[in-house]
Structure 1
Amino acid sequence: MAAPQRSVRCIVLTWVALHITTTEAVDRSNFKTCEQSAFCKRQRNVKPENSPYRALLNSLDVTRESVKLQLINEVNKVPLLLEVYGLRGNMTRIKINELNPLQPRYEVRDVLVREPPTVPLTVVGKDEDSVELSFENKLYKVIITSKPFRMDIMTGNELLLSINSRGLMVFEHLRKRKDSYTEKISNTVGSMWNKIKNVFISEEKEEENVENQEVKGESEAADEEAQAEKPEDTNSQKENEEKEDEAGMWEETFKTHTDSKPNGPSSVGLDFSLPGFEHVYGIPEHADNLKLKTTEGGDPYRLYNLDVFQYEIFNPMALYGAVPLLLAHNLRRTLGIFWLNAAETWVDISSNTAGKTLFGKMLDYVQGANEIPQTDVRWISESGIIDVFLLLGPSPFDVFKQYTSLTGTQALPPLFAISYHQCRWNYNDEDDVRTVDAGFDEHDIPYDVIWLDIEHTDGKRYFTWDPNKFPNPKEMLQNLASKKRKMVSIVDPHIKIDSGYKIHTTIQSRNFYIKTKDGNDYEGWCWPGSAGYPDFTNPEMRSWWASMFAYDQYEGSMDNLYTWNDMNEPSVFNGPEVTMHKDAVHMGGFEHRDVHNLYALYVQMATSDGQIQRSGGTERPFVLTRGFFAGSQRYGAVWTGDNSAEWDHLKVSVPMCLSLALAGISFCGADVGGFFKHPSPELLVRWYQAGAYQPFFRAHAHLDTPRREPWLFGDDNKLIIRTAIRERYSLLPFWYTLFYHAYRTGEPVMRAMWVQFPDDMNTFSLDDQYMLGDALLVRPVMEPSVRGIQVYLPGKGQVWYNVHSHQRHTGPQNLYEPVTIGTIPVYQRGGTVIARKERVRRSSSCMQDDPYTLYVALNGQNTAQGDLFIDDGHTFNFEKKNEYIYKKFNFVNNSLTSSTDPVGHYKTAAWIERIVILGARKPATVTIKLPDGTESNLNFEYNTETSVLTIRKPAVNIAAEWSLYIR
């Protein structure tokens, strides 16, 4: 491909300069609105009315696996195939595709962990207008109505949701473009043929009386086709013909970029109505509130992976990742809609209660208004097929289990990965790395990982090191390893076009680059300048990429070097919307428009596989990605991208991570301090306090910002930051156990309040506080210069303990909590047990055999339960060899019992040095009994003011089984 013209170079260099130096917010004109996206505009112009689609019930085909029938668009006569599946675990799958497409339409690959197991669908009723199906032992019913086509999902007499009830389904068929002459001939022939059919049909009707209803239906369909030439239909037919050349159907221009559409418009859209639901969540990634807003009068939420630096907040613009999963929740049930489509997607949300105040809703109730609250959701994608999973709950945790049974659970990260990470763009050289590493030791601040951004490479050639700044990478890594610390280096998917660069020449020689529509290697501009983009949809390309992480391929790498995949949306500085042209071509002839949102997932997948392979399948990987899709949770962590050092960006990090957690991605965090701009000391301190209680905990900063290591803001602020980081390290056993549960069951680590308290309406819109597991409630301070904040403590009769003061509170209540610059309100829920390690050292690996402290928080019934997962913290042996310890702690009748999962086995020197019981009564004696019958008295202290009992040195191995008696 020829080098870009001078004007293009200027545009690209200007964009890069802005990316590096700007302090302004994102230029929204670089990114499309729905009005500027031809397919979104076209579909959104379809208003609620009678749908042109009809289900041909006489085509019904029922097998043990599925129910299939044809749909017909009565305007253009294009037949579609509807497939309905009952899935094990209260799920339904619905697929709609062209019956005879011009060429295969793209169906998303590699996202589902397996083909989901089905349950039989049974026809339990049928008449001329509808068919009724049942599944899951008749717990659920699917009613398909013929004309207009509609589907309803019911349980008993309760309507859960309806499909196409507003008639907004649109399925644009693939077609060949006709020139005007050919089109006229075709229209003339078509007109003559319709007239001939009219004659034959009229004669046929005179000769025989059709009595059979199914035959009658077929005849009516033919008759309706024959009516196309009637005068009253001429205008609508003409309009449909003219739509063949409507703007944006065969090619689309945005600014200076034009994408061709060789097979014409191919978008799909479908509406879902959710009666009884006012609160919907999910569809990350957006810098917005947790509860999704209605989109009437504005743009829909957009799902299209884009490089949006210094993004705006509280709007529906697309960001770096896309998970097309929406959850709906009310007091009785939680539902999920998983729209499996990797093309650009817009989600419209409307509600019949939108705009009504709480008073207005109460007035409706008093006046006896019988309108049921309802939320309507409309999905619109540019290409592909309709492939949607309906997750029927009924509880939030049922929906999490259902979704992760499809797309996989969060990978269990190595222990170091959930510790503290230090990063900036860029640590300059090996001396800089050494100095920063020593600074943490000097100031007694723990950390596990130091990061290197793009400047560490040799001219932005990934898998290389700058020979002047990083001449001895192994020596640098060995120095970190001696302190049990790690490094992460960046490896981006844009490859510098350079005949002397083996990564490029190998990809080129193996024909692994994405192609242009003309068959040439696609080239765009990114950090290295002119760059090629590997086709990660190709399994052979992914396998080769993975092999490049081998120690003999990635020179200078060691087993303590891990990976950061950035710019993998993919980012193309001189491309439309700073990404790839949609008519670029991937393996199998599919266009980039079909697979765009999958690209980042494939990059992270191949990188993760590479780390596993380099260890011979022994070590767990760690890969951070900026772009993501459904299923990305299987491969590592996500962060919220190029945020700013502003209070609102700190605040929005909470709902952003909560939304990701609802969509299966628990390993989420935001750049502590903000990537752009320079935080005030107060903002930085508050961000460290908040980040210490988010799953991924990394400080990061822009190239243009002053240095931000924790000790550079004065001794007072350093001590507060150190305290926050040390709190994170003391809670690592708790965090690690939460991630183990996320891996096993799909339940989120960081949880929206309504997830844990689904029957408390006061939690439904809360997104400035959250739960960690079921045990800790966190309310970060996210406003400047405050002396106190409001915290909502939910649960009727639920006991809560401030983890710092141990003060006891009872819910439900709105609590005013006084704060200082050194405090963050965190509460342990009564009825839980949390394990901590309070001997904090320089890195998590140094704490491997350190003793535990158990915090037992009693509820109103004086009971508590908790658990603890322990393994080596870095290998797959917990899974392959059952090398783990899984403990359960149960406090009841003034006795604390420790039991162990008999399957797991793992030796550790760690022991229990302290047990702290919150809400206890003062005892006379405390004794511990071991399985061999040995009993001994233990020393204890009791604080009358806080009702805290501290039992010192039980001195039992953490793996042992024992019982503690308080008398």
Structure 2
Amino acid sequence: MGKALCIILILLISLNCAFSWKKDEFRNCNQTPFCKRARSRKPGACSLIATDVSISDGDLVAKLVPKETNQENDENQEKPPEKPLVLTISAYQDGVMRLKIDEDQSLGPRKKRFEVPDVIVPEFLNKKLWLQRVKEENNDDGSGISSVVYLSDGYEGVIRHDPFEVSVRESGKNGKKVLSLNSNGLFDFEQLREKKEENEDWTENFKSHTDSRPYGPQSISFDVSFYDADFVYGIPEHATSLALKPTRGPGVEDSEPYRLFNLDVFEYIHDSPFGLYGSIPFMISHGKSRGSSGFFWLNAAEMQIDVLGHGWNDESVLMLPSDQKRVDTLWMSEAGVVDTFFFVGPGPKDVVRQYTTVTGAPALPQLFATAYHQCRWNYRDEEDVFNVDSKFDEHDIPYDVLWLDIEHTDGKKYFTWDRVLFPNPEDMQKKLAAKGRHMVTIVDPHIKRDESYYIHKEASQKGHYVKDATGKDFDGWCWPGSSSYLDMVNPEIRSWWADKFSLENYVGSTSSLYIWNDMNEPSVFNGPEVSMPRDALHHGDVEHRELHNAYGYYFHMATADGLLKRGEGKDRPFVLSRAFFPGSQRFGAVWTGDNIAEWEHLRVSVPMILTLGLTGISFSGADVGGFFGNPDTELLVRWYQLGAYYPFFRAHAHHDTKRREPWLFGERKTELIREAIHIRYMLLPYFYTLFREANSSGIPVARPLWMEFPADEKVFSNDEAFMVGNSLLVQGIYTQGAKHVSVYLPGDESWYDMKTGTAYKGGVTHKLEVSDDNIPSFQRAGTIIPRKDRFRRSSTQMENDPYTLVIALNSSKAAEGELYVDDGKSFEFQKGAYIHRRFTFSNGKLTSSNMAPATDAHNRYAPDCTVERIILLGLSPQPKNALIEPSNHKVDVESGPLLLRKGMAPSVLTIRKPNVRIADDWTIQIL
């Protein structure tokens, strides 16, 4: 009885730690020895120089060795490494340079340092440029020589020998630097070594937890400089501004670095550099004079990154040419190797595209997944599910996915059902599927240690669990109580896990069921910082400290592979993950975790989602309404109005909150939420086209304003408005009771209000009145947006509906846009089974032309959908009719509503029922 009581008390204490933000539950930099050491170093502390520079196997290789100095007379020099380090520079197509630095394997380090596998896509490695020669040149400052290699047309890779520095610069000796590493001499690499003294203590303690650190300190740190940069962005996940604020330098006091360490943080605070659920060590810079560049460190250990404010090191600033400025940063990691990538840009879209050539383009989701999702922890039983489903129909609100949280399982054992609450799960899913709807269930990485549970029994027998420091199966606490965690770094275990999603193994599932991975940081309620001990052991004797940030990535990967196997590779999977890492975009969507029903959390959702998009993860969103707490009705409506433009649109709430389905707040609020959701369904053709663009190029769906207007300094730090694609600008309302909002509309051309069609001048800040029925949203002049305006129960039922084209003319009375359509679910689009149309309006003529290469596959996908309306914004005087070719018939041009809303007065020019097929070539001449 006493033992059972102790276990219950430990669990309750652990749950309490997990349920709220407690700053002292997590380490800060001063409590993290590697971070504290790295931050204490002075500029110029690195004593390494580059020697033996040559070309080998198409790469530039060199050794980094300590410079011979009188250490007693030079207090600024730190103790040099015991053995030479090996430096390798590789060049790849499209201006990507890779820099690796590791211990010399020929000298036999104690163990091989961990390099993260399965992130770099094979296609990138095939783009390697085989360097043929290296040239040497004298440094301008007389400090010695540098070795230079060709990188791409217009750019060169440079390694300065003494003091060692690696940079990318514009071609030519006098070319300006774009990016550099170790310009401030902060590089440090703690090599693996044996204990020299018996009493040497390598352990680290945090609260009641002890990290044995059997391999001792092994951290790496270095400075990276971005030239001609006004701001830097990226390195999610943090609930902070889009433009990263300085964490060190003049005027910055007691600031923590940006932490990248995947953690289960309940009720996280906004405007904080604290690390959350995912980690992507990729930073992008932008400035007016040159454009953008990017830097990526492939490393899965804990990382801390300082953004160094102007003047942090006056000496380095003085060394710059008078016409060049830069942003300095300091990167610090507990373990791993230097495996970094330099991206030259020069445009922001170029940098994102270059980064996703390394880590992979975002997956193209199924169409249903881009629509609205309804979730709660938890829908109680089948009766609750059917009641919620019918209420959506009763109130004429479309939705596509209903979600079930952990309470649907039998005792929190995944792949099971509580057969009292959900006695007929297959029938339940089939009833939803009959309306074109889908279901998602949760599957987390912690496995209940219960000998009667077949997953645990098999995993235990096969040795599939992560081990603790003693070699036993790691046992931690999570939702089921005593739990173990699958070693997903092992590809054999990932394959075993994937098999569990087959319809035969996942009893009660159907092909319309998809998956949600939560708690995969991994979350361990009684572990250090609510996670797994760093000295736990994985496949290949890799310590958890070396791969912590990638654990959730591998779990996400294995789950997505499971859905692929289930469908025999025919249908695209949908898996939502909370934890993420570079490459996660290949496997599904992510969300911003356990936010709070507060106005500031609504506001911070925008920079969080934009930052994820900049770092490859286009398919992301925030819990609409806030996960914790009870939003007032005004906040809830404003969140729906903004969330309708998130790439991933899901409402979700904690089980302790009041029910908040859209119809529970009175007729007017229901009407406003319905209208917000209808806007999303109306714009699904546009969103799906953007998801295909992201899949093809890496360019995100939701974009910072500066991605579309890279020369406009007024938008560089604007993170309250954003672009959806290149055509829509959305401004959130983040203040309760707001009567007015200021909206800056960039560019020289006009913007058209999406509700009224009213034109607003570009390059101007407009003070607009705020109404409760929408948030400010505008279509950019010179664009064409495809829509579907008929309201259905789900996106699946919209498949054969006709299209509306909204043409927003610029000052030249011209516009263009695109439409991508495929079957919305399979991989046949990879074989050419899709249509991709370009619409252009010029000289009074609208033309539809084919953008896809001509293949037989296009004949297999030729939908019969037609265009039922064409709306013309900015055209005057009003024409009378239009001639349609090649059918050679005329239709009237008349006044009509911009949006098909009840009581909407006619306000814009409309061509009704031109009845041209969306898949055909045609023209419409305005007469």
Q: Are the counterparts in 1 of residues 260 and 304 from structure 2 also a CA contact under 8 Å? A: yes
- Residue 329 (structure 1) aligns with: 286
What corresponds to 2:842 in structure 1?
A: 892
Contact 2:93 2:152 in 1 (8 A): no
Q: Which amino acid aligns with 1:70?
A: K
**Match runs of 1:63-142 below 5 Å:** 63=56, 65-73=58-66, 75-99=80-104, 100=107, 101-114=109-122, 115-116=124-125, 117-121=127-131, 122-126=133-137, 129-136=144-151, 139-142=154-157
Q: CA deviation at 1:355?
A: 14
1:158 equivalent to 2:176? Answer: yes
Report if the CA contact (8 A) 1:733-1:835 is conserved. Answer: yes
Q: Is 1:869 aligned with 2:824? A: no
SS at match of 1:939: strand
Query: Higher helix proportion, which one?
Result: 1
**1:517-556 mapped onto 2 (5 Å cutoff):** 517-556=469-508
1:822 to partner: Cα distance: 1.1
The residue number in structure 2 matching 1:654 is 606
Structure 1 match to 2:48: 53
Matched, 1:922 2:877: yes
Q: Does 1:718 align with 2:676?
A: no
Q: Is the 8 A contact 1:94 1:388 kept in 2?
A: yes
With the length of structure 2 as denominator, give the TM-score of the two structures.
Answer: 0.92
Query: One-letter code of the match for 1:312?
Result: I
Task: Pick one of 306, 318, 323 that aligns with 2:275.
Answer: 318
Please name the residue that 2:617 is paired with. 665
Note the 1:696-735 alignment, pairs <5 A: 696-735=648-687
Could you tell me which residue of structure 1 aligns to residue 12 of structure 2?
13
Q: CA deviation at 1:5?
A: 8.8
Verify the 8 A CA contact 1:926 1:964 in the aligned structure 2: no
1:946–1:476: structure 2 CA closer, same or farther, 3 Å change rule? closer
Q: CA deviation at 1:131?
A: 2.9
Shift of 1:126: 4.8
Could you report, residue by residue, the CA deviation over 1:43-83 in whole angstroms, capped at 9, with x for unpaired residues? 11112124221212xx2221352010110145343210000
Q: 1:168 aligns with which of 186, 189, 210?
A: 186
Q: Which residue of 2 aligns with 1:934?
A: 887
Letter matched to residue 147 of structure 2: E
Corresponding residue of 2:75:
none
Preserved contact between residue 837 and residue 851 of structure 1 (Cα < 8 Å): yes
Q: Is the 8 A contact 1:672 1:700 kept in 2?
A: yes
Give the C-alpha shift of residue 141 in structure 1: 2.5
| Aligned counterpart for 1:344 among listed residues 302, 312, 317 | 302
Q: How far 1:167 sits from its partner (Å)?
A: 1.0
Q: Structure 2 counterpart of 1:83, which letter? A: T
Give 1:591 deviation, angstroms: 0.4
Matched to 1:743, the amino acid is: N
Secondary structure of the 2:134 match is strand
The percentage of counterpart residues that share the same residue type is 47
Q: Structure 1 residue 143 and structure 2 residue 158: aligned?
A: yes
Is the partner of 1:955 in helix, strand or coil?
strand
Q: Alpha-carbon deviations, 1:740-777, whole Å to 9, x = none? A: 00001111100000110000000100000000100000
Alpha-carbon offset, residue 17 of structure 1: 4.6
| 1:352–1:373 CA contact under 8 A, matched in 2 | no
Superposed, which structure 2 residues align to 1:78-477 within 5 Å? 78-99=83-104, 100=107, 101-114=109-122, 115-116=124-125, 117-121=127-131, 122-126=133-137, 129-136=144-151, 139-156=154-171, 157-180=175-198, 245=200, 250-296=202-248, 297=253, 298-331=255-288, 332-352=290-310, 370=322, 372-477=324-429
CA contact (8 A) 2:165 2:181 kept: yes
SS of equivalent to 1:954:
strand
Shift of 1:158: 1.0
Mapped to 2, the partners of 1:423 and 1:162 lie a distance apart of: 46
Q: Deviations over 1:8-66 (max 9, x none)?
A: 6523312325656xxxx61011111011111111111112124221212xx22213520
Per-residue CA shift, 1:105-144, capped at 9, x if unaligned?
0011111112532224331225693232131456223332
Identify the match of residue 790 of structure 2 among 839, 844, 866: 839
Counterpart secondary structure, 2:537: coil
Cα separation, 1, equivalents of 2:633 and 2:896: 36
Whole-angstrom CA distance in 2 between matches of 1:503 and 1:494:
11
CA deviation map 1:404-425 (0-9, x unaligned)? 1000111100011011111100
Relative to structure 1, the CA distance from residue 324 to residue 467 in structure 2 (aligned partners, 3 Å threshold; closer, same or farther) is same
Amino acid in the other structure paired with 1:164: N
Q: Say which SS state the counterpart of residue 634 (structure 2) adopts.
A: helix
Q: State the TM-score, normalizing by the size of structure 1.
A: 0.89
For the structure 1 residues 548 and 180, does the alpha-carbon distance in structure 2 shift closer, same or farther, using more than 3 Å as the test?
A: closer
Q: Does the CA-based 8 Å contact 2:18-2:525 persist in structure 1?
A: no
What does residue range 585-604 of structure 1 map to in structure 2 within 5 Å?
585-604=537-556
Aligned equivalents of 2:896, 2:760: Cα separation in 1: 17
What is the alpha-carbon distance in structure 2 between the residues aligned to residue 773 and residue 351 of structure 1?
A: 32
- How many Å separate the matches in 1 of 2:161 and 2:3? 55
Check the 8 A contact 1:927/1:935 in 2, yes or no.
Answer: no
* Aligned position for 1:951: 911
Deviations 1:250-284 (A, max 9, x none): 11111001111111111111111223223000000
Partner of 1:622: 574
From the superposition, tell whether residues 532 and 952 of structure 1 become closer, same or farther in structure 2 (CA, over 3 Å). same
**Which residue is 2:74 aligned to?**
none
1:913–1:953 contact (8 Å) kept in structure 2: yes
Change (3 A) 1:5 1:326: farther
Measure the CA separation in 2 of the matches of 1:4 and 1:495: 22
Report the Cα distance in structure 1 between the residues aligned to 2:533 and 2:18, rounded to whole angstroms.
21
1:193 is matched with which residue? Answer: none
User: Do the aligned residues in 2 keep the contact of 1:445 with 1:842 (CA within 8 Å)?
Assistant: yes
Q: CA RMSD in A?
A: 2.1
In structure 1, stretches of 5+ residues that fail to align are 182-244, 357-363
SS of aligned partner of 2:914: coil
Contact 2:879 2:893 in 1 (8 A): no
Structure 1 residue corresponding to 2:800, chosen from 829, 836, 849: 849
With over 3 angstroms needed to count, the CA separation of the structure-2 counterparts of 1:145 and 1:654, relative to structure 1, is: same
Decide whether aligned partners of structure 1 residues 176 and 170 sit closer, same or farther in structure 2, where only a CA change above 3 A counts. Answer: same
Residues of 1 paired with 2:90 and 2:152: CA distance?
14
Counterpart residue identity of residue 103, structure 1: K
CA displacement at 1:103 relative to structure 2: 1.3
| Amino acid paired to 2:783 | T
CA-CA distance at 1:811 after TM superposition = 1.1
Could you tell me which amino acid in structure 2 is paired with residue 481 of structure 1? Answer: A
- Structure 2: distance between partners of 1:263 and 1:18: 30
- Cα distance in 1 between the residues matched to 2:640 and 2:228: 40
The 3-state SS of whatever aligns with 1:733 is helix
* Structure 1 range deviating more: 709-718 or 46-55: 46-55
* Higher gyration radius (CA): 1
Deviations along 1:169-204, whole A, 9 cap, x unmatched?
0100001113359xxxxxxxxxxxxxxxxxxxxxxx
- Alpha-carbon distance in 2 for matches of 1:143, 1:851: 56
Deviation, 1:907, is 2.5
Q: Using the alignment, how far apart are the partners of 2:555 and 2:430 within structure 1? A: 28
Letter matched to residue 888 of structure 1: R
CA distance in 1, matches of 2:912, 2:153: 57
